[in-house]
Amino acid sequence: MYPTWRWYGPNDPITIDEVSALDIRGVVTALHHVPNGEVWSREEIRKRKKELGELPWSVVESVPVHEGIKQNSAAAPQLLKNYGKTLEHLAAEGVTTVCYNFMPVLDWTRTRLRVPVPGGTTVALDGLDLIAFDIFILARAHAAEDYPAELVELATDHFEAMSAEDKGEVTENMLKGLPGSEESFELATFKQAIAPYLHISRAEFKDNLRRFLEELVPVAAREGIKLTVHPDDPPWPVVGLPRIVSTLDDLQEITEMVDDPANGLCLCTGSLGAREDNDLPAMARKFLDRIHFVHLRNVARSPHASFRESGHLQGDVDMAAVVGELLRAGADVPYRPDHGFTLFDDRKRQTYPGYSLYGRMRGLAELEGLRRGLSANRPA
């Protein structure tokens, strides 16, 4: 394992000069300015590599999967060809690990982005916030039927107790654009975006992922690319949207859809760790030969499908056990400190939620101490 750092390009509030001062071996970045579905040109890839200076481009995160592919629309065949061409261009420029996700519409979901912690803030998903948003603010048809009756009752009381400011904050956070992008949703456009998925079953959605893999894993294998699918965040359905990368069984099924080393996994300990029934050390052990990229992040779980992002060595994921399993493989796999508290001067600059400088630096220091300590104590 070796440490990397996610950088969002020239518009990132954290400069590449600051990144270059960190004890890392590579950068995780993407061409966020290229519209989803379009081919990444070799010229644009070279331009980004030049912007990194002496730091290598270790991982692409992400080449986004267009909604047309996820929905298997009429445009899917051309969109798949474009994706394959992008993989070819990346390989030609020496960038050979590509992370992607197959979450519809929402990349990650949090309802609170400024939860106090000593010296700063963190982000959290409050399950009652989410249910209240779905039923009463989004007003999705038949939404209440997707939740246990006791949770609907609790969410109803929760919604009635929320202030106008609370409701506005949760709505804004649910509709917020993704890090690195300029897009965000209005409530009406969000309803339009999720509408097609409300008629796609989980089994049909899996078939759409299978089509994606059957088309692109052979391209990746030919070009020397390692594809890595990122888990769902959170790893359960959100506002009626299907989730298919959430459990050990999901990961097993995905690796078997196209049984090739190029069809790999991104082990995100924070995303998968939000589920109490996910055993992260066991997952790391089972998929050692298919994990090509690692996100190390921790969460503190709470009732009603809720969690907050904790310190990297605190929380409910046994980080030492996970890292110990990953080190057993002996592979030179990139990892990054995923998210971090907003601390110190980062409270004055507009960083993306979870993507502060100082909070991630703290996480990087903790994780590198853990990794190096465990490595030093491994049997020769």
- The full set of domain ranges for the chain reads 2-109+193-376, 125-189
Distance CA(330)–CA(347), nearest Å, equals 38
Cβ atoms of residues 13 and 350 within 8 Å? yes
For the segment(s) 2-109+193-376, the CATH number from 3.40.50.10190, 3.30.300.340, 1.10.15.40, 3.20.20.150 is 3.20.20.150
Give the pLDDT of the chain (380 residues) as one tens digit per residue.
999 999 999 999 999 999 999 999 999 999 999 999 999 999 999 999 999 999 999 999 999 999 999 999 999 999 999 999 999 999 999 999 999 999 999 888 999 999 999 999 999 999 999 999 999 999 999 999 999 999 999 999 999 999 999 999 999 999 986 554 545 788 999 999 999 999 999 999 999 999 999 999 999 999 999 999 999 999 999 999 999 999 999 999 999 999 999 999 999 999 999 999 999 999 999 999 999 999 999 999 999 999 999 999 999 999 999 999 999 888 899 999 999 999 998 988 888 889 999 999 999 999 999 999 999 977 65
pTM for the model: 0.95
Q: Encode burial over 255-281: b for 16+ CB neighbours within 10 A, e otherwise.
A: bebbeeebbbbbbbbbbbbbbeebbbb
Residues carrying an active site annotation: 230, 268, 295, 338-339, 355
Distance CA(72)–CA(102), nearest Å, equals 12
Cβ atoms of residues 20 and 51 within 8 Å? no
First-to-last C-alpha distance (Å) of the chain: 17
Q: Is the peptide bond before 62 cis (omega within 30 degrees of 0)?
A: yes
